[in-house]
Amino acid sequence: MSSARPHSIHHVNFPITDVERTKEWYARVFGMHHVDISHLSNSKVLLMSRDNFELHFTPVDAMQRMAPFHYAMEVEDWDGFLAHLKAIGVRYTRPVERPQNRSKFCYIHDPDGTMIELTYHGDRSDFKKNS
């Protein structure tokens, strides 16, 4: 077995039913921007980006649910991000705190119902010790 390991996830692709609604929601909630790739390919994929990560979305006529399906996004300022969600009217589940590793998490849903786990780790050095 090779010792080479992946260093990060390049992207994740999700089905969506409304391209414009998805662009607006991910821009408003996560500060992502649309990257126009139409000059590179005739693909219908919507590419949204923010600094060091990308999300890809494929338009579909109707959603077919796989439950439970979610992905997680880590935030640096927990209280600030929850205040942001409240200010823009995005509902979230009751936050859960894990004192054993100083982490917190809750869930939101995008316009197509994809569950997004929001997570916060107060001290990332705990993870480095165990890796």
Read off the pLDDT band of 20 (50, 70, 90).
very high
Read off the pLDDT band of 131 (50, 70, 90).
very low
Check: pTM over 0.85? Answer yes or no. no
pLDDT given for residue 125 in this prediction: 52
pLDDT given for residue 27 in this prediction: 97
Read off the pLDDT band of 66 (50, 70, 90).
low
Q: Which residues are registered as beta bridge partners of 56?
A: 13, 47
pLDDT given for residue 92 in this prediction: 97
- DSSP code for 100: T
Read off the pLDDT band of 101 (50, 70, 90).
confident
pLDDT given for residue 129 in this prediction: 46
Full set of structural domains in the chain with CATH: 9-61 (3.10.180.10), 65-131 (3.10.180.10)
* Cβ(70)–Cβ(107) below 8 Å: yes
What share of the chain in percent tops pLDDT 90? 40
Sign of the C-alpha dihedral computed for residues 63, 65, 12 and 110 taken in this order: positive
pLDDT given for residue 94 in this prediction: 97
